[in-house]
Amino acid sequence: MWANPDWRGTLYPAGGGGLEEYARVFSAVEGNTTFYSGVPRPETVAAWARQAPPGFRFCFKLPASLTHERRLVGIETGFEAFLDALSPLHDRLGPMMVQLPRDFGSEELPRLEALLTRWPAGIPCAVEVRHAEFFHKGSAEVALNRLLISLGVDRVMLDVRPLFSTPAGGHPGLLKARSEKPKRPLHVLSTGASPMVRFIGHFDGEINERHFAPWIERLALWIKQGKTPYLMVHTPDNRQAPALARRLHSRLAEQCSLPPLPAFPGEAQASLFPS
């Protein structure tokens, strides 16, 4: 997401808050809008194409109508229509995410295989499973990982450890986030060329730092191996997500030769008009 009014005054200047400003700081975005809204309108995609620089990457989610309502059955026409709608952005697509329902189990893996075998070669893909049986290192998880490795498809690594590290304590933001994210073990495995990590942070910065520390070495290793990892950062209500992303980027930059992130436009504006 990039349209968040809560980021005005930090990431965005007052009154701002669009993709063009977002892309001045960050190089990729998790595109949730397509998950909920489906196929975007041509004028919307054209606007995204104008606003995003060449090196920017969109990581859109497949529409829920295909993954959750139809459960990957008979989706050929809808899938093609979705890809066609995004054609102006095909040179700027990061891994497109296939987020599967929590009850999508091993018996439905042939449906996933049918989709992935016809997946366009030029568009990266990442699959996020949520069924508990894919996290027990048993036959279901072995079959899933073999399928992804054989096709060079990445498995999304959803790290919810910070989110569930403390009691919610009646905090509405934590309660809501926990209801939306499955509490599953973290299995760190790169099955393709673009490992994707979705780091779901806490309100407590020390908790986030502690849980992110092991990722630094792993992300640095993948970069050294020539892979292109994607790190998507969330917080319970996402108000602090840009600041957390900047902090985690700086921690990783200590181990890798990463350029620093540009200053947040909103903070730069605030410094021009001190109170």
- Sole residue written with tokens 């449906």: 111
Return the pLDDT at 270.
55
Mean pLDDT of each 10-residue bin along the chain, 275 residues long: 90 90 95 94 96 96 98 97 96 97 97 97 96 96 98 98 90 91 96 98 95 96 96 94 95 89 83 52
Q: What is the pTM of this model?
A: 0.94
Return the pLDDT at 219.
96
Return the pLDDT at 271.
54
Spell out the alpha helix ranges (H) of the chain: 19-22, 33-37, 42-51, 64, 76-85, 109-117, 139-151, 172-180, 205-224, 241-253, 265-272
The answer to whether the beta carbons of residues 113 and 148 sit under 8 Å apart is no
